[in-house]
Structure 1
Protein backbone atom coordinates (compact mmCIF):
# COMPACT_ATOMS: atom_id res chain seq x y z
CA UNK A 1 0.00 0.00 0.00
CA UNK A 2 1.25 3.47 -0.84
CA UNK A 3 0.07 5.82 1.92
CA UNK A 4 -2.06 8.80 0.89
CA UNK A 5 -2.04 10.19 4.42
CA UNK A 6 -0.54 9.16 7.75
CA UNK A 7 -2.00 10.26 11.08
CA UNK A 8 0.19 10.49 14.11
CA UNK A 9 -0.63 10.69 17.82
CA UNK A 10 1.29 10.37 21.06
CA UNK A 11 -0.09 8.95 24.30
CA UNK A 12 1.61 9.95 27.55
CA UNK A 13 1.00 9.42 31.24
CA UNK A 14 -0.73 6.29 32.46
CA UNK A 15 -2.20 5.00 29.17
CA UNK A 16 -5.97 4.98 29.62
CA UNK A 17 -5.54 7.52 32.43
CA UNK A 18 -3.13 9.68 30.50
CA UNK A 19 -3.17 12.22 27.72
CA UNK A 20 -3.14 12.04 23.95
CA UNK A 21 -2.35 14.60 21.30
CA UNK A 22 -1.45 14.93 17.66
CA UNK A 23 1.56 16.94 16.49
CA UNK A 24 -0.74 19.57 14.90
CA UNK A 25 -2.71 19.96 18.16
CA UNK A 26 -6.09 19.15 16.58
CA UNK A 27 -6.45 16.26 19.03
CA UNK A 28 -5.30 17.19 22.52
CA UNK A 29 -7.12 15.83 25.54
CA UNK A 30 -7.05 13.77 28.70
CA UNK A 31 -8.00 10.10 28.73
CA UNK A 32 -9.71 8.21 31.52
CA UNK A 33 -11.06 4.76 32.16
CA UNK A 34 -14.88 4.56 31.87
CA UNK A 35 -16.75 4.33 35.16
CA UNK A 36 -18.11 0.90 34.15
CA UNK A 37 -14.51 -0.33 34.12
CA UNK A 38 -13.63 1.24 37.48
CA UNK A 39 -12.37 4.62 36.31
CA UNK A 40 -13.59 8.14 36.90
CA UNK A 41 -14.88 8.59 33.33
CA UNK A 42 -13.87 12.26 33.27
CA UNK A 43 -11.93 12.15 30.00
CA UNK A 44 -12.55 10.35 26.74
CA UNK A 45 -11.31 6.82 26.10
CA UNK A 46 -9.87 4.84 23.18
CA UNK A 47 -13.21 3.14 22.43
CA UNK A 48 -14.94 6.51 21.97
CA UNK A 49 -12.16 7.63 19.64
CA UNK A 50 -12.42 4.38 17.66
CA UNK A 51 -16.22 4.71 17.45
CA UNK A 52 -15.96 8.29 16.17
CA UNK A 53 -13.33 7.36 13.59
CA UNK A 54 -15.17 4.25 12.40
CA UNK A 55 -18.50 6.09 12.09
CA UNK A 56 -16.92 8.90 10.05
CA UNK A 57 -14.91 6.55 7.85
CA UNK A 58 -17.89 4.27 7.20
CA UNK A 59 -20.12 7.25 6.39
CA UNK A 60 -17.54 8.45 3.88
CA UNK A 61 -17.41 4.97 2.30
CA UNK A 62 -21.22 4.93 2.18
CA UNK A 63 -21.26 8.30 0.42
CA UNK A 64 -18.66 7.05 -2.06
CA UNK A 65 -20.60 3.93 -3.04
CA UNK A 66 -23.83 5.95 -3.23
CA UNK A 67 -22.19 8.53 -5.49
CA UNK A 68 -20.93 5.73 -7.76
CA UNK A 69 -24.46 4.27 -7.86
CA UNK A 70 -25.91 7.77 -8.47
CA UNK A 71 -28.03 7.55 -5.31
CA UNK A 72 -28.81 10.56 -3.12
CA UNK A 73 -28.31 9.69 0.55
CA UNK A 74 -30.11 12.79 1.81
CA UNK A 75 -29.60 13.23 5.55
CA UNK A 76 -27.94 9.86 6.12
CA UNK A 77 -26.16 9.03 9.36
CA UNK A 78 -23.86 6.33 10.64
CA UNK A 79 -23.62 5.57 14.34
CA UNK A 80 -20.96 3.33 15.85
CA UNK A 81 -20.93 1.48 19.16
CA UNK A 82 -17.62 0.00 20.24
CA UNK A 83 -17.71 -2.46 23.12
CA UNK A 84 -14.75 -3.72 25.11
CA UNK A 85 -14.77 -6.83 27.27
CA UNK A 86 -12.66 -9.69 28.49
CA UNK A 87 -11.71 -12.30 25.90
CA UNK A 88 -13.43 -15.67 26.29
CA UNK A 89 -10.19 -17.18 27.57
CA UNK A 90 -9.90 -14.46 30.25
CA UNK A 91 -6.52 -13.41 28.87
CA UNK A 92 -6.78 -9.80 27.79
CA UNK A 93 -9.59 -7.85 26.19
CA UNK A 94 -11.40 -7.77 22.89
CA UNK A 95 -13.58 -5.35 20.96
CA UNK A 96 -16.87 -5.60 19.09
CA UNK A 97 -18.46 -3.00 16.82
CA UNK A 98 -22.06 -2.26 15.90
CA UNK A 99 -22.68 0.16 13.03
CA UNK A 100 -26.15 1.61 12.50
CA UNK A 101 -26.84 3.16 9.10
CA UNK A 102 -29.85 5.42 8.58
CA UNK A 103 -30.80 6.62 5.10
CA UNK A 104 -34.19 8.37 5.23
CA UNK A 105 -36.46 8.09 2.20
CA UNK A 106 -34.56 5.15 0.70
CA UNK A 107 -36.13 1.68 0.56
CA UNK A 108 -34.64 -0.65 3.18
CA UNK A 109 -33.33 -3.16 0.63
CA UNK A 110 -31.53 -0.46 -1.36
CA UNK A 111 -30.09 1.06 1.83
CA UNK A 112 -28.86 -2.39 2.91
CA UNK A 113 -27.15 -2.93 -0.47
CA UNK A 114 -25.33 0.39 -0.10
CA UNK A 115 -24.35 -0.39 3.51
CA UNK A 116 -23.01 -3.80 2.46
CA UNK A 117 -21.01 -2.19 -0.36
CA UNK A 118 -19.61 0.42 2.06
CA UNK A 119 -18.59 -2.37 4.45
CA UNK A 120 -16.56 -3.96 1.63
CA UNK A 121 -14.59 -0.77 0.88
CA UNK A 122 -14.33 1.07 4.22
CA UNK A 123 -10.71 1.00 5.47
CA UNK A 124 -11.84 0.44 9.07
CA UNK A 125 -14.03 -2.48 7.97
CA UNK A 126 -11.13 -3.93 6.00
CA UNK A 127 -8.82 -3.55 9.01
CA UNK A 128 -11.21 -5.22 11.43
CA UNK A 129 -12.62 -7.95 9.15
CA UNK A 130 -11.83 -11.35 10.60
CA UNK A 131 -10.35 -9.81 13.75
CA UNK A 132 -13.36 -8.54 15.70
CA UNK A 133 -17.12 -8.90 15.27
CA UNK A 134 -18.64 -6.03 13.28
CA UNK A 135 -22.40 -5.85 12.77
CA UNK A 136 -23.90 -3.48 10.21
CA UNK A 137 -27.60 -2.71 10.67
CA UNK A 138 -29.77 -0.49 8.50
CA UNK A 139 -32.36 1.39 10.51
CA UNK A 140 -35.66 2.42 8.97
CA UNK A 141 -35.85 5.61 11.04
Structure 2
Protein backbone atom coordinates (compact mmCIF):
# COMPACT_ATOMS: atom_id res chain seq x y z
CA UNK A 1 0.00 0.00 0.00
CA UNK A 2 1.19 3.48 -0.82
CA UNK A 3 1.40 6.28 1.70
CA UNK A 4 -0.97 9.19 1.13
CA UNK A 5 0.12 12.72 1.92
CA UNK A 6 -2.15 15.55 2.97
CA UNK A 7 -0.72 19.06 3.17
CA UNK A 8 -1.85 21.99 5.27
CA UNK A 9 -0.55 25.56 5.23
CA UNK A 10 -0.97 27.59 8.40
CA UNK A 11 -0.37 31.30 8.97
CA UNK A 12 -0.43 32.85 12.45
CA UNK A 13 0.71 36.49 12.29
CA UNK A 14 -0.22 37.51 15.83
CA UNK A 15 -0.16 36.47 19.45
CA UNK A 16 -2.30 34.01 21.45
CA UNK A 17 -5.66 35.75 21.04
CA UNK A 18 -5.23 36.75 17.43
CA UNK A 19 -6.59 35.01 14.35
CA UNK A 20 -4.75 32.82 11.88
CA UNK A 21 -5.65 30.94 8.73
CA UNK A 22 -5.30 27.38 7.52
CA UNK A 23 -5.66 25.91 4.07
CA UNK A 24 -5.66 22.25 3.09
CA UNK A 25 -7.31 21.04 -0.10
CA UNK A 26 -10.95 22.16 0.01
CA UNK A 27 -10.59 23.41 3.59
CA UNK A 28 -9.76 27.11 3.91
CA UNK A 29 -10.75 28.89 7.10
CA UNK A 30 -9.78 31.29 9.84
CA UNK A 31 -8.69 29.77 13.14
CA UNK A 32 -8.47 31.05 16.68
CA UNK A 33 -8.85 29.96 20.26
CA UNK A 34 -12.51 29.32 21.17
CA UNK A 35 -14.35 31.66 23.56
CA UNK A 36 -14.67 28.78 26.07
CA UNK A 37 -10.89 29.08 26.48
CA UNK A 38 -10.87 32.88 26.59
CA UNK A 39 -10.10 33.29 22.90
CA UNK A 40 -11.74 35.43 20.22
CA UNK A 41 -13.76 32.56 18.71
CA UNK A 42 -13.16 33.55 15.08
CA UNK A 43 -13.41 30.77 12.51
CA UNK A 44 -12.81 27.26 13.76
CA UNK A 45 -10.39 25.87 16.32
CA UNK A 46 -8.39 22.70 16.98
CA UNK A 47 -11.11 21.27 19.25
CA UNK A 48 -13.78 21.55 16.56
CA UNK A 49 -11.42 20.25 13.89
CA UNK A 50 -10.52 17.12 15.87
CA UNK A 51 -14.21 16.52 16.56
CA UNK A 52 -14.96 17.10 12.87
CA UNK A 53 -12.23 14.68 11.81
CA UNK A 54 -13.47 11.99 14.20
CA UNK A 55 -17.13 12.48 13.25
CA UNK A 56 -16.67 12.55 9.48
CA UNK A 57 -14.30 9.58 9.56
CA UNK A 58 -16.79 7.59 11.65
CA UNK A 59 -19.91 8.39 9.59
CA UNK A 60 -18.15 7.75 6.25
CA UNK A 61 -16.75 4.46 7.60
CA UNK A 62 -20.21 3.43 8.82
CA UNK A 63 -21.85 4.31 5.48
CA UNK A 64 -19.19 2.32 3.60
CA UNK A 65 -19.63 -0.69 5.90
CA UNK A 66 -23.40 -0.57 5.45
CA UNK A 67 -22.98 -0.41 1.68
CA UNK A 68 -20.54 -3.36 1.62
CA UNK A 69 -22.93 -5.37 3.80
CA UNK A 70 -25.90 -4.61 1.54
CA UNK A 71 -27.74 -2.92 4.41
CA UNK A 72 -30.00 -0.30 2.84
CA UNK A 73 -30.99 2.82 4.70
CA UNK A 74 -33.31 5.79 4.33
CA UNK A 75 -30.97 8.11 6.16
CA UNK A 76 -27.86 8.32 8.30
CA UNK A 77 -27.13 11.34 10.50
CA UNK A 78 -25.16 11.98 13.64
CA UNK A 79 -24.59 14.38 16.48
CA UNK A 80 -21.14 14.32 18.08
CA UNK A 81 -19.91 15.96 21.27
CA UNK A 82 -16.38 16.67 22.43
CA UNK A 83 -15.58 17.03 26.10
CA UNK A 84 -12.46 19.05 26.81
CA UNK A 85 -11.28 19.45 30.39
CA UNK A 86 -9.39 22.52 31.61
CA UNK A 87 -7.91 21.67 34.99
CA UNK A 88 -5.31 23.95 36.56
CA UNK A 89 -4.32 25.33 33.15
CA UNK A 90 -3.79 21.87 31.65
CA UNK A 91 -6.22 21.37 28.78
CA UNK A 92 -7.08 17.75 27.96
CA UNK A 93 -9.23 16.45 25.12
CA UNK A 94 -11.11 14.00 27.31
CA UNK A 95 -13.91 12.32 25.34
CA UNK A 96 -15.78 12.17 22.04
CA UNK A 97 -19.36 10.96 22.02
CA UNK A 98 -20.89 9.91 18.70
CA UNK A 99 -24.68 9.62 18.45
CA UNK A 100 -25.44 8.10 15.06
CA UNK A 101 -29.07 7.85 13.96
CA UNK A 102 -29.67 5.12 11.38
CA UNK A 103 -33.04 5.14 9.63
CA UNK A 104 -33.60 1.79 7.97
CA UNK A 105 -36.11 1.10 5.22
CA UNK A 106 -39.73 0.52 6.23
CA UNK A 107 -40.25 -3.09 7.25
CA UNK A 108 -36.59 -3.71 8.12
CA UNK A 109 -36.10 -7.09 9.78
CA UNK A 110 -34.70 -7.79 13.23
CA UNK A 111 -31.58 -9.12 11.46
CA UNK A 112 -31.16 -5.78 9.68
CA UNK A 113 -31.56 -3.91 12.99
CA UNK A 114 -28.93 -6.19 14.59
CA UNK A 115 -26.59 -5.73 11.62
CA UNK A 116 -26.97 -1.94 11.79
CA UNK A 117 -26.02 -1.97 15.49
CA UNK A 118 -23.08 -4.31 14.86
CA UNK A 119 -21.76 -2.11 12.04
CA UNK A 120 -22.23 1.07 14.10
CA UNK A 121 -20.04 -0.42 16.82
CA UNK A 122 -17.49 -1.83 14.38
CA UNK A 123 -17.17 1.48 12.50
CA UNK A 124 -15.83 3.13 15.65
CA UNK A 125 -12.86 0.76 15.87
CA UNK A 126 -12.37 0.71 12.08
CA UNK A 127 -12.20 4.47 11.54
CA UNK A 128 -8.67 5.75 10.96
CA UNK A 129 -9.10 8.80 13.22
CA UNK A 130 -10.60 6.74 16.07
CA UNK A 131 -7.59 4.41 15.85
CA UNK A 132 -5.20 7.37 15.79
CA UNK A 133 -6.53 8.85 19.03
CA UNK A 134 -7.21 5.51 20.75
CA UNK A 135 -5.68 5.40 24.22
CA UNK A 136 -5.62 9.21 24.44
CA UNK A 137 -9.24 10.23 23.97
CA UNK A 138 -12.13 8.18 25.34
CA UNK A 139 -14.72 7.25 22.70
CA UNK A 140 -18.38 6.74 23.56
CA UNK A 141 -21.17 5.58 21.25
CA UNK A 142 -24.96 5.99 21.52
CA UNK A 143 -26.68 4.38 18.53
CA UNK A 144 -30.30 5.03 17.56
CA UNK A 145 -31.84 2.73 14.96
CA UNK A 146 -35.28 3.52 13.52
Distance 1:101-1:46 versus aligned 2 partners, 3 A rule = same
Matched, 1:116 2:121: yes
- Give the aligned CA root-mean-square deviation in angstroms: 2.5
**Inter-partner Cα distance in structure 1 for 2:92 and 2:61:** 25
Structure 2: 5+ residue runs without aligned partners? Answer: none
Q: Give the greater-gyration-radius structure (CA).
A: 2
The structure with more strand, counted as a fraction of residues: 2
Conservation of the 8 A alpha-carbon contact between 2:116 and 2:145: no
- Kept after mapping to 2: 8 A contact 1:63/1:73: no
Structure 1 range deviating more: 102-111 or 119-128: 102-111
Q: CA deviation at 1:115?
A: 0.9
How many pairs does the alignment contain? 138
**After the TM superposition, which segments of 4 or more aligned residues of structure 1 sit over 4 Å from their partners?**
none
Flag the 1:109–1:124 CA change in 2: closer, same or farther, 3 A.
same
Structure 1 residue 11 displacement after superposition: 4.4
Counterpart for residue 93 of structure 1: 91
Alignment of 1:59-74 (within 5 A): 59-74=59-74
Q: Which digits, 9 at most, give the CA deviation of each residue in 1:28-66, with x for residues without a partner?
A: 322232222222323321111222222111111101211
Which secondary structure does the structure 2 equivalent of 1:22 belong to?
A: strand
Q: Give me the TM-score of the superposition, normalised by structure 1.
A: 0.79
Q: With structure 2 as the length reference, what TM-score do the two structures score?
A: 0.77
**Structure 1, unaligned stretches of length 5 or more?**
none
Q: Aligned equivalents of 1:15 and 1:50: distance in 2?
A: 20
Quickly say closer, same or farther: Cα 1:12–1:140, change in 2 above 3 A: same
Aligned residue number for residue 8 of structure 1: 8
